[in-house]
């Protein structure tokens, strides 16, 4: 292998790596992909919602054989306090379309499938192989990688770093910083198995329709964080993610938060009788636009979570990973076609193509959100959820108190907790960050 | 009322598949007299409860149940409290579902 030189080496066989490797291999480039897991997906964790459009751009007929669980027809957003949830549910039969927009998936199975597509397209995939170090020439240009398999450095014109949020190669080589505790969330997740019919009945679904719940509130005990529940065909993915900095400050145990979420009176009946078959943990990049590092250099580009390309506000990551992987692959192919070498200057094409895509536009739009949520975590994740629950209860409960008094009590509770000025400034800051 | 049953982390990890690289731990804690606040936090916030305080007040690690999430790396590698590597290719956690 050491004799051979590849057009590109892709480090990682997750969403971004597979997209990049597939794109380049299907354009006829000689691609070597390295994955440290026993099989692609064995190290990866996701909720997981797959956004069809971004995969369709890469593999148009993926629906024919990709392992998909349920297509989503209903989304619930819940604000929770200790005993209640106030929710917005959106359900539409429009989502029962011929080419559905969103699906739930199981990453270990999905990544295996995606990786098979890379092989079919002519890419070489080596599993159980960890890239340990970038190889550079005397000018500092990246020329390949060292691995933990015996043998010399493997050479390539360009290395695509698709190593995920906890990527060691790029940070060790000083190409980007290590993620900061306030820019990454630790998510813990369990897989709860139930018969298909039970899931369908509990969530009001037929056949392969699916429903997802995103939940915020006192479940994260004042730390910036969110819980989720996603329906698969015969299992439910349940998890909660909280900023690492918040966990370190409060010393909350992540598995205790997950257990409390599971036992919440709004969640418990949905899981009743289930058998848990796996417990997983993974980081999610949450720093948004401001945390994006340098994306390219001499002989390298970085894609997906390793580049912090993750939209925490909308809970999208895999699609940004796939899109950035594809764009990296296309830009490398274009440079090759015109006979260019993989210099920093030429590879800036990747950044300019990415800037024009939804990836950068969406991250730019929410650039102030992470800081806002982080600095106001107590009000957004404890105070407001409690107030909203009280307000909803005030509205619904009938006990002979005149309505006007109930409304006054609701308003007074909000002002007491946050002050008039606090409420107005929270609203304005939220509106600006969302804008 | 029934008492709340708090699940044990050991029972959770028991459901997972691992290929432990015996004798080659991928994370090491630097020798210390008293732990830094971040190192101490790991005894609570490591999702696999790999870090524990010993009798003499130092933080120790048994990385067998590690899910390779990187939380401890983000908190404690920069200041040298720990040394963090991936297990050799193929070893470590093997998610069945992920
Ligand atoms: C709990 C949770 C829920 C989520 N839910 C959603 C969701 O519903 N929808 C969504 O769109 N996104 C979601 N995300 C985000 C999404 O999972 C990520 O954005 C996406 O997986 C990023 O893809 P990636 O290819 O960049 O990284 P990864 O998928 O993490 O892949 C990185 C790969 O690189 C390999 N690797 C790393 N280092 C090396 C090395 N040195 N040598 C060889 N191989 C290496 C790893 O083993 C891994 O296979 C969620 C994330 C989590 C943790
Ligand atoms: S990587 Fe995660 S699971 Fe492993 S020891 Fe560190 S914090 Fe614990």
Over the stretch A375-387, which tens digit does the pLDDT of each residue have? 778 788 888 888 8
CA distance A424 to chain B (A): 35
Indicate the average pLDDT of chain A: 93
Better pLDDT: B6 or A152: A152
State the distance from the centre of ligand 1 to the C-alpha of A413, rounded, in angstroms: 42
How does pLDDT run across A228-262, given as a tens digit for each residue?
999 999 999 999 999 999 999 999 999 999 999 99
Chain B residue nearest residue A250, CA to CA: B41
Domain B25-94 in CATH 3.60.110.10? The answer is no
Give residue A219's region: left, alpha or beta (phi > 0; psi -120 to 50).
alpha
Six-digit token pair at B37? 């606040």
User: Between chains, do B89 and A165 touch, taking CB under 8 Å as contact?
Assistant: no
* pLDDT value at residue B6: 61
**Mean pLDDT lowest among A59-68, A83-92, A181-190, A347-356:** A83-92
Q: Within an 8 Å CB–CB cutoff, is residue B72 touching chain A?
A: no
How does pLDDT run across A147-185, given as a tens digit for each residue?
998 788 999 999 999 999 999 999 999 999 999 999 999
Q: What is the DSSP letter of A289?
A: G
Task: Kindly report the pTM of this predicted structure.
Answer: 0.94
State the Cα–Cα distance between residues A162 and B38, nearest whole angstrom: 28
How does pLDDT run across A116-132, given as a tens digit for each residue?
999 999 999 999 999 99
Residue nearest to atom 8 of ligand 2 (CA): B46
How does pLDDT run across A310-322, given as a tens digit for each residue?
998 888 999 999 9
- Domains of chain B by residue range: 25-94
Best of A12, A36, A256, A286 to disrupt the B interface (most B CBs within 10 Å) is A36
The interaxial angle of helices A318-337 and A344-356, nearest 10 deg, is: 140
Confidence of residue B2 (pLDDT cuts 50, 70, 90): very low
Look at residue A135 and tell me whether its pLDDT is greater than 80. Answer: yes
Look at residue B73 and tell me whether its pLDDT is greater than 50. Answer: yes
Q: Supply φ then ψ for residue A104, to 5 degrees.
A: -90, 150
């Amino acid at each position: 292998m050491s004799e051979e030189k590849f057009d590109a080496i892709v480090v990682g066989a997750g969403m971004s790596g597979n997209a990049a490797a597939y794109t380049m291999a299907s354009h006829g480039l000689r691609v070597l992909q390295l994955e440290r897991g026993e099989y692609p997906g064995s190290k990866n964790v996701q909720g997981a919602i797959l956004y069809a459009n971004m995969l369709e751009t890469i593999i148009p007929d993926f629906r024919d054989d990709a392992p998909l669980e349920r297509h989503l027809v209903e989304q619930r957003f819940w604000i929770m306090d200790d005993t209640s949830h106030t929710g917005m549910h959106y359900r539409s039969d429009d989502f029962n379309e011929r080419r559905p927009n969103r699906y739930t998936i199981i990453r270990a199975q999905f990544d295996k499938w995606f990786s098979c597509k890379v092989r079919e397209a002519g890419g070489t995939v080596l599993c159980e192989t960890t890239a340990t170090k970038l190889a550079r020439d005397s000018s500092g240009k990246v020329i390949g990688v060292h691995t933990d398999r015996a043998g010399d450095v493997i050479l390539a014109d360009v290395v695509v770093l698709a190593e995920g949020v906890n990527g060691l190669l790029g940070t060790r080589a000083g190409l980007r910083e290590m993620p900061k505790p306030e820019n990454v969330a630790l998510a813990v997740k369990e897989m709860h198995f139930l018969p298909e019919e039970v899931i369908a009945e509990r969530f009001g679904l037929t056949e392969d329709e699916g429903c997802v719940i995103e939940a915020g509130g006192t479940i994260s005990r004042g730390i910036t964080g969110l819980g989720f529940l996603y329906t698969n065909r015969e299992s439910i993915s349940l998890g909660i993610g909280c900023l690492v900095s918040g966990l370190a400050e409060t010393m909350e145990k992540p598995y205790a938060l997950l257990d409390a979420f599971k036992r919440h009176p709004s969640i418990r009946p949905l899981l009743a009788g289930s058998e848990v078959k796996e417990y997983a943990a993974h980081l999610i990049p949450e720093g948004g636009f401001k945390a994006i590092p340098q994306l390219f250099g001499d002989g390298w580009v970085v894609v997906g979570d390793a580049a912090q390309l993750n939209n925490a506000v909308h809970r999208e990551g895999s699609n940004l990973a796939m899109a950035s992987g594809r764009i990296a692959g296309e830009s490398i192919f274009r440079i090759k076609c015109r006979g260019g070498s993989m210099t920093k200057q030429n590879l800036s094409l990747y950044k300019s193509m990415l800037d024009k895509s939804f990836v950068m536009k969406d991250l730019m739009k929410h650039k102030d959100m992470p800081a806002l949520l982080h600095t106001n975590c107590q009000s957004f994740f404890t105070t407001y959820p409690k107030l909203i629950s009280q307000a909803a209860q005030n509205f619904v409960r009938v006990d002979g108190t005149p309505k006007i008094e109930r409304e006054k009590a609701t308003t007074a509770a909000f002002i007491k907790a946050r002050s008039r000025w606090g409420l107005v400034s929270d609203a304005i800051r939220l509106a600006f960050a969302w804008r | 009322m029934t008492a709340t049953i708090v699940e044990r982390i050991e029972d959770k990890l028991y459901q997972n598949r691992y290929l432990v690289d015996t004798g080659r731990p991928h994370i090491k804690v630097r020798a210390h007299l008293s732990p830094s606040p971040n190192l101490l936090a790991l005894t609570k916030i490591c999702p696999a409860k790999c870090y524990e305080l010993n009798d003499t007040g130092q933080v120790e690690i048994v990385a067998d149940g590690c899910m390779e999430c990187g939380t401890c790396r983000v908190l404690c590698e920069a200041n040298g409290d720990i040394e963090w590597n991936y297990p050799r290719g193929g070893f470590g956690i093997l998610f069945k579902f992920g």
